Structure 1
Amino acid sequence: MELELKKQSFDTYEAGTETTLTAEETAETIVPDYCPDMARIIDTEGMVFLHGRDFRDGKATLSGTVRVTVLYTPEGEGGIRSLEFAIPFSVESEALPECAYLTAEVEPEMLESRMLNPRKVFTHCKLVARVTTYQRTALRVCPDVETAPELCVEKRRERQRATLLTHVAEKDFTFSEEMNLSPGREGAAEILSSQVRGCVTETKLVGSKLLFKGVFRICLLYRTAQGQYCSTSGELPFSQIMEVEGAQEGSSATVRLQLTGADLQIDGGDPEGRQLAVTLYLHATALVRREEELTLLRDLYSTAYELTYDASPMSLVTYWESTHRRQNVRESLEIGVVAEDILSVQTDCGTVAVSREGGGTVLRTVVFVRALYLDEGGTPLMAERGVEVSCQTDLPGDCRVFARAVCAEEPQGSLTERGIEVRFPVEFQIEAASQTKKVCISAVRVDTDSPKDLSGSPSLVLRQLGQQESPWDLAKRYNTTISTILCANQLETEEDLPRDTLLLIPRKRA
C-alpha cells in the first residue's frame, strides 16, 4: 500500500561552478602624429569594459576591451602627456555544466607598458575573471504523509530554515550626469587620465520592482589652461529600477555592477572648464534571496506493519550573510628624492585570499599604491608599492566565503621627511554561505497484509539512552513510541530523558 505524501516545490537557482580565469593580451601601439615623441613612460592605467558574456557548447566566453592610458614625458619639453588606446580581450573557460545565467567580474591584475622607440609602445596586460554559473532547479520537499490511525505510523519531522536563491535578474543601463570640479580648483583644459568605481549602497524590493541605489566615484588627473597639473575626485549618486517578476515581499537582493563603457569629457559649453560630462554604461546583475522555513519528513516507521520508504538527498543553504568589513591603512612610500608636490594617489586592490586561522576566517589582499608626484625640479615621477591588508572575521568555519576588496574612497597623500605618506580605507565586501546535507522521504509503502509478529519480543526493556542515541532512535529500535517511553518514566518532554539513568521501555500495545 502506497501512502500519499504531502509535497511542496520551490523554484530556485543553484550556484554551480565558480571558476577563476586568466587572460594575457599584448599590443604594440603607434604614437599618433599629433603627439610628440616619447622620452619616458611615467605610468600605465587601465579600465576594463566587459561587452560580452556568452555560454555556448558548455563553455563560458567573456569578451571586452581594456582602455589603457599611458602617461609619459615628451621629448624636448617638460610636463605630462597622455596616450589612450583600447586592447580587446577574450577569455574562454573549460567545459562547464549547463547554466541559465552566469555572472562575471573582470579586473586587471597586471598592466605595464614600455617604449620600443619614441613612436611605439608595447603593452602587456594580464586579466583575472571570476565566473559563477547558476542553474534553475526545483527544490522538492515532503513535510508530511497521510496515514490512518490503524496503521500506527510514527513520523519524524524536522523544521529547517533555508535561504533560497529565487531570482537572477539583469539589466543594462546608462548613467549620465554633470560633475563639477571642487571649489578652489582651476578648470580643466585636458583630461589626462580617469578612473571610475561604482558601489551599490542600498537595495529594496517593492512588489516586482527592485530599487537599487549607489555612488560612482570619479577620479581625474587633468591639465589646466595655464599648464598646471591637478587631480580631483567626486561622487555621483545614482538610482535604478529593475523588474524582478514574482519576487516576494521580505526578500533581499544583492546587486553587482560591471562597467561596459565610459566617456568623460570637458563640457564644451563651460569656458572655464569646471564642468565635466560623465556618461557611464553598465551591466547590473541582481541575486534575490528569500528565507524559508521548511518542514522535512526525515524518518518514519509503523509499530503494527512492515514499512519501507525511499529518501532523497538534498543540499540546503542554511546560512547566508552579506557583510562589509573596513580596514584603515596608513603607509609610507620612500621616494629617495625631495618631492615638491603630489599630483595624485591611486589604490587598486588585488584578489582576496581566504584562510582559516585560530577558529576564525582571515581575508587578505594586496593593495597596489601609486603616487604621482613632482620632484623639486618639476619632473613627474611615480612611486609605487604593494601593501598587504588583512581582515579578521568571525564567520563560521564551515561556510564558503566569496570576498572582494575595494578602495571606495579617495586615498589621501602628504609629503613627509621620508617620502609620501598615504592613508586609505579598504572595504572587504563579503558573502558567506554554508550548506547542510539533508534527506527527505520521497515515497512510503506499508504492507498491510503482513502485520508485525512481536510474539518473541520482550514486553518491557530496561536500558540507558546511548550518548549518540536520540529518543527517536530508541523508540524505533524497540518498536514503541516516544510518548509511550515518556509516560512509562513519568516524564513530560524529550529533553527530560536522562542519559545516565535506566529507562523503562515498554512495547507499544496495538
Structure 2
Amino acid sequence: MELKVIKESVTVNEVVYDSFTELPIECDVLLPDYCPDIMKVLKCCATPVFTQTTVEGSSLTVEGYALLELYYLSENRQIRCSEHKTPFSKVLDLKCTPENPTVSVSATVDYLNCRAVNQRRVDIRGAMTISAKVIAQKSENVVSDAEGGGVQLRKNAMNTTCVVGTAERQFTVREDLELGYGKSAIGAIVRKQVQAVATDCKVISNKIVVKGELIINLFYLCEEDERPETMQYNLPISQIIDLSGVDEDCKCDVRFRVISCDIKPKADLDGESTMLSAEVTLCAVAKAHRNTHVQAVTDAFSTTYESSFAERPITALRLIDVVDDKHHYKEHLELPDEVVSVLHMWCDAAFTGGNLVDSGVQLDGRLMLSMFAMDNENNPVYFEKPVDFTHMVELTDQEENLLADITMKAASCEFTPTGDGRVEVRAEIIICGTLYGIMKCDVMSDLAVDETKPQKRDGNTALTIYFAQQGECVWDIAKRYHTSVAAVMEENSMEKELLQSRATLLIPLIV
C-alpha cells in the first residue's frame, strides 16, 4: 500500500524580540507664571507614558513622553508642584520582519537628578530603561498522520496558544467631582495619582466588553492656611473593543493605560473651589488568546521498507494563565528621626521579574514608598524608601521556561501612626497580565519510505528474544527490530510501554 502522509497547519507564536534599551531624560524646566518661586527643591519624579508603538518591516518605533513632577517649597514654605512633559521616541531593530506582531512595552526610571538654576528654572537630568517584547505569529506544516508503507507512528499532543490579535481603543472620561462634606476649599493641587484597572471582561463575537474603575487620588492645599487634605475618587468606566476573530473560547488580557490627565479646581455656585474638573484620557488594550491542540508525529519508521523523515525545531508559546490578582502589602515603617508627622504617603509599584517555583510562579515587585512630612523645625520634607515584595500565583501545570508579561499598579496607600516613631503602611497592588510557557520541540515536516529498499530480515526467524532493561521503552525496541509496538505488547501481555523492571521479551516478526 502506497504511503499517504497527512499534514496539518499549526499556528504558533514565538518571541522574536525581548530586550532593554536606555533613554536619557534631559530638559530645562521653566516654571509657569502661576507657580510661586522655588525656595527649595524637594523631589523630581518622572513617569514614562507610552502613546504609540508601531512595527514597520523590521523596526519597532516606540513613542511617548516622560511626565515630570517637580515638588518644591515656595517662599511661604508650602509644598507646590509643577508638571512638565518631555517627549521621547526610539526606533528598535527587530533583526527580522515579524508576521502579525504583538508588542508589549514598559519602562522604569533608573535615576533622576534635578538642580535649581534659579528661582524659576530647574535643570533635570536622568535616564529610563524601556523593556520591549514582540511576539510574532507564523504557521508550520507538521506531519499529523500517515498510513501505508508499513509505517509506525509515534504521536505527541502539541498544546500551543495562538494570539488571535490585539486591539486598542482610546477614550476620554470627563467628570465634575465634589469634595467630601466638611472639606475645605481647594487652594492648589500638589499631587495627583490616576490609575485605571479592569474589573470585568466579557467576550462576544468579534467584540470584548470590559468594565473597570478609574482611581483618582489627590493631595491638595486648602485655600485657608490649614493642614493639606487628601481625597480619593473611584469612577466606573466601560468600553467595547472591536477585535476580529475573538469569541467565547478565547482568553483575554485587558488593561487600561492612562495617556493624560487634567484635574483642576472648579468653583461651585457660591464661588468657592469645592469642586474639581477632571478630564482623563485612557487607552483600553486587549489581547486575545486561543489554545490549540494538535496530534503531531514525533518519530516514525517502517516495518517493510527503509524510511526517512525531515524535522525542524520550533519555539512556541503556551498560555499558562491570565493573571488578575490583588496583593495586600503591610509593613510597620520606621520614620526618620527628624520627622514629627506625616502629611501624605503614596507608593508606586513596578514588576521586577518572575520565577517558577514548586507551587507555581513567584512574581517579584518593588514598591517605592514616598511621603511628605513635617520635620522638628516645622518644615515640609520629602522621604522615600524602596521595598521589595513577592506575590505567588498557584499553577496546576509546570513549565520549564517562563515568559511573564505583568503589570503592577498601586491602587491605594494608607498609613496609621503607631505612636512609637513608626507608621503602619497598607497598600493594595493590582497585578494583571499573562504568563506563558516557552515550548521548544522538534516537529516532523516530511515522511517518506523507499519501496525499492525493503527491510532485510532473517527468513528463518519468527521470534527474537530480547533482554530489556528497566526504563526502556517498547517504541525504541520495536523500531530497532522493525516490528510494531502493538505486536510486541500483545505478544508479551504488556499494558504500559515503559518497562518498570528488567524483562525478557519476545519480539515477533512483522511481514
User: TM-score per shorter chain, which class?
Assistant: 0.7 to 0.9
Aligned length: 503
- In the alignment, is the contact (CA less than 8 A) between 1:105 and 1:258 conserved in 2? no
Give the match for residue 451 of structure 1: 454
The answer on whether the counterparts of 1:360 and 1:397 sit within 8 Å (CA) in structure 2 is no
Structural mapping, 1:278-427, within 5 Å: 278-318=278-318, 320-323=320-323, 324=325, 326-337=327-338, 339-340=340-341, 342-354=342-354, 362-375=362-375, 378-391=378-391, 396=398, 398-402=400-404, 404=406, 406-415=408-417, 416-427=419-430
| Residue of structure 1 equivalent to 2:87 | 88
User: Within the alignment, does 1:169 sit opposite 2:181 as a pair?
Assistant: no
Uncovered stretches (5+) of structure 1, i.e. residues with no partner: none
Counterparts of 1:471 and 1:129, CA distance in 2 = 52
Counterpart of 1:253 in structure 2 is 252
The corresponding residue for 2:20 is 20
For residue 168 of structure 1, what is the amino acid of its counterpart? T
Post-superposition CA distance 1:432-472 (Å, at most 9, x none): 32233333332222233443331367422222334453211
Q: For 1:456-503, what per-residue CA distance to the aligned partner results, in whole angstroms no more than 9, with x for missing partners?
A: 674222223344532111111111112211222234x33586532211
The runs of 5 or more residues in structure 2 that have no matched partner are none
Retained in 2: the 8 A contact 1:21–1:91?
A: no
1:193 equivalent in structure 2: 191
In the alignment, is residue 140 of structure 1 matched against residue 141 of structure 2? yes
- Which residue among 471, 487, 497 is the counterpart of 1:484? 487
| C-alpha contact (below 8 Å) 2:415/2:425 kept by paired residues | yes
Aligned position for 1:216 = 214
Whether the 8 Å CA contact 2:368–2:384 is kept in 1: the answer is yes
Q: 1:35 is paired with a residue of what secondary structure? A: coil
- Please identify, of 478-487 and 5-14, the stretch whose mean Cα deviation from structure 2 is larger: 5-14
TM-score normalized by the length of structure 1: 0.88
**3-state SS of 1:483 partner:** helix
Residue 321 of structure 1 deviates from its aligned partner by 1.9
RMSD, matched Cα: 3.0
Q: Distance in 2 between matches of 1:34 and 1:483?
A: 86
Q: Structure 1: which amino acid aligns with 2:434?
A: E
Going from structure 1 to structure 2, the CA distance change for 1:10 and 1:397 (only over 3 Å counts) comes to closer
SS at structure 2 position matched to 1:245: coil
1:208-261 CA distance string (max 9 Å, x none): 101222222211122222243212222222111111111243110112333322
TM-score by length of 2: 0.88
Q: Is the 8 A contact 2:296 2:443 kept in 1?
A: yes
Indicate how the Cα distance of structure 1 residues 206 and 19 shifts in structure 2: closer, same or farther if over 3 A, else same: same
Matched residue SS, 1:352: strand
Letter in 1 for 2:196: G
Distance 2:47 2:509 in 1: 74
Matched with 2:243 is 244
Q: Secondary structure at the match of 1:464?
A: strand
Q: 2:330 is matched by which residue type in structure 1?
A: V
Identity rate of aligned residues, in percent? Answer: 22
Structure 1 stretch displaced more, 177-186 or 204-213: 177-186
CA contact (8 A) 1:14 1:165 kept: no
Aligned amino acid, residue 172 of structure 1? Q
Q: Deviations over 1:314-361 (max 9, x none)?
A: 333345223346252213142323525x33211112441445778976
Measured against aligned partners, the alpha-carbon deviations of 1:368-402 in whole angstroms (never above 9, x if no partner) come to 11111234665322222122223456664623142
